[in-house]
Amino acid sequence: MFQDSPRRAHSIAAQGGINAAKNYQNDGDSVFRLFYDTVKGGDYRAREANVHRLAEVSNAIIDQCVAQGVPFAREYGGLLSNRSFGGTQVQRTFYAAGQTGQQLLLGAYSALERQVALGNVTMYSRHEMLDIVKIDDKARGIIARDLVSGQLERHFGHAVLLCTGGYGNVFYLSTNAMGSNVTAAWKAHKKGAYFGNPCFTQIHPTCIPVSGDHQSKLTLMSESLRNDGRIWVPKQKNENRKAVDIPEAERDYYLERRYPAFGNLVPRDVASRAAKERCEEGFGVGTTRMAVCLDFKDAIIRYGRIEAGKQGLEKADELAIIKMGKAVIEEKYGNLFEMYEKITGENPYEMPMRIYPAVHYTMGGLWVDYELQTTVKGLYCLGEANFSDHGANRLGASALMQGLADGYFVIPYTLGNYLADDIRTASISTTHPAFEETEKGSS
Ligand SMILES: Cc1cc2nc3c(=O)[nH]c(=O)nc-3n(C[C@H](O)[C@H](O)[C@H](O)COP(=O)(O)OP(=O)(O)OC[C@H]3O[C@@H](n4cnc5c(N)ncnc54)[C@H](O)[C@@H]3O)c2cc1C
């Protein structure tokens, strides 16, 4: 990896959560339902066998992460908590406040460090992979650059696994880290690994809108906010009043109006297209008019009333209810609200957030078979870097599920199938001409 620690991988940015078919909420979830939702969310383009495998191992991922010490959010009684994500009608998303990716990464990192200490793994941080070395049509190693000394290095492996993330940065502005730059997958492609669905890009509906030409990236506001936030635009075109000054009767909650069964939790592509359409029709808000409102006012009052009820405060006045409601919202989404306020200078507890769709997740990538092997023998690809066998996935909380399924529960079994045929192949020296030649091409 090129960061100074694996903890800095782009996965740290994942906020909302990770899906699993545990059915903890007893709301009718099952392995089949997660499979079905994912195939449907993938516009029926997914490879169904892979999706079924994904749904099957989803529950084991949660158990694995809990065993690693990942602090998933819990209910008052101690059970793991869930929230909803778009495109589903059950609550199956496990989360750790608004920093699920970071906590999953820390869990994986702690387990990795243990293996490093045992001498089973050698870590090469601040190294960039420059090319794949092929010998007799099989991937047998890589050429890397030590980013501190600038030296080129040769590394042999019986197989090579790429876990190098997505390519959101082929778009000028995206919510991806600038490191998601596709260099590794591109080099693999040049060595014969085919791409699958390279144009499938997920557009996320709730990002902070572009504010000027000084930006190099965009910031995501987690989809979890659509659990409680209501999306609306003014009913009148080219509205100039502040969002809080627009009365209820003059607001168009267009997702709830158009899609009553899913409301604000429609799949990401539906929510993104609808926001773009409303803005292009002239209903957008803010100075650029390329934004819609995400409003927590009703949720604050709803939660406030519940709190007042819990505390037996039947005569609580509106101010007290709002205060209690804000505390609940802060507990659920506090870090996201803080991030929004830092970036926009507006307080989302008082004023609806302004949001707009942005490039978020690349569903295309290196094509892999059921065993996660690319079209180059011995070259495997995991996580966002592969073509996401769940297809044109329009759902959230599936990327972390797929990445962890690939790493924890698929590759440990499938790689053995390949290595079994190579059991008598001794290590190949990095003085082999193939290494020399590939290195020359990289310098
Ligand atoms: C803002 C944001 C929020 C998200 N929230 C969620 C969410 O709530 N739930 C969800 O399921 N998904 C979410 N996603 C998607 C999810 O985070 C990613 O798909 C996933 O984390 C990708 O993990 P990965 O391990 O495949 O890649 P990464 O985490 O990107 O890791 C790639 C690694 O490869 C290394 N690398 C890359 N190229 C090279 C090279 N040439 N040489 C050496 N090393 C290299 C990098 O250093 C890095 O360590 C979110 C994405 C974004 C942008």
Instruction: For residue 255, give the H/E element and its range.
Output: helix 254-258
Counting atoms of ligand 1 from 1, which one is nearest the CA of 384?
26
Active site residue: 83, 230, 268, 394, which one? 268
- Indicate the length of the chain as a whole number: 443
* 269 C-alpha to ligand 1 centroid (Å): 20
Residue nearest to atom 34 of ligand 1 (CA): 164
What's the CA gap between 296 and 206, in Å, rounded?
Answer: 14
pTM summary value: 0.92
* 37 C-alpha to ligand 1 centroid (Å): 23
What residues contact residue 219 under an 8 Å CB cut-off, 6+ apart? 175, 207, 208, 339, 343
Domains detected in the chain: 6-125+159-198+363-424 (3.50.50.60), 203-302+339-359 (3.90.700.10)
What residues contact residue 356 under an 8 Å CB cut-off, 6+ apart? 207, 208, 209, 210, 275, 279, 290, 291, 292
Counting atoms of ligand 1 from 1, which one is nearest the CA of 220?
1
CB 102 less than 6 A from any atom of ligand 1: no
DSSP 299-354: HHHHHHHHHHHHTT-TT--HHHHHHHHHHHHHHHHHHHHHHHHHHHS--TTTS-EE
CB contact at 8 A, 103 and 18: no
* 290 C-alpha to ligand 1 centroid (Å): 28
CB 101 less than 6 A from any atom of ligand 1: yes
Residue nearest to atom 30 of ligand 1 (CA): 165
Residue nearest to atom 36 of ligand 1 (CA): 164
* 385 C-alpha to ligand 1 centroid (Å): 8
> What is the per-residue pLDDT for 15?
87
Is 268 a known active-site residue? Answer: yes
Dmax of the chain from CA atoms? Answer: 83
pLDDT truncated to tens, each residue of the chain (443 aa)? 899 999 999 999 998 899 999 999 999 999 999 999 999 888 888 899 999 999 999 999 999 999 999 999 999 899 999 998 888 889 999 999 889 999 999 999 999 999 999 999 999 999 999 999 999 999 999 999 999 999 999 999 999 999 999 999 898 899 998 888 899 999 999 999 999 988 888 999 999 999 888 888 899 998 889 989 999 999 999 999 999 999 999 999 999 999 999 999 999 999 999 999 999 999 999 989 999 999 999 999 999 999 999 999 989 999 999 999 999 999 989 989 999 999 999 999 999 999 999 999 998 999 999 999 999 999 999 999 999 766 566 788 999 999 999 999 999 999 999 999 999 999 999 999 999 999 999 87
CB contact at 8 A, 366 and 161: no
What's the CA gap between 45 and 377, in Å, rounded?
Answer: 25
Instruction: For 10-34, write each residue's pLDDT tens digit.
Output: 999 998 899 999 999 999 999 999 9
* 437 C-alpha to ligand 1 centroid (Å): 31
CB contact at 8 A, 246 and 351: no
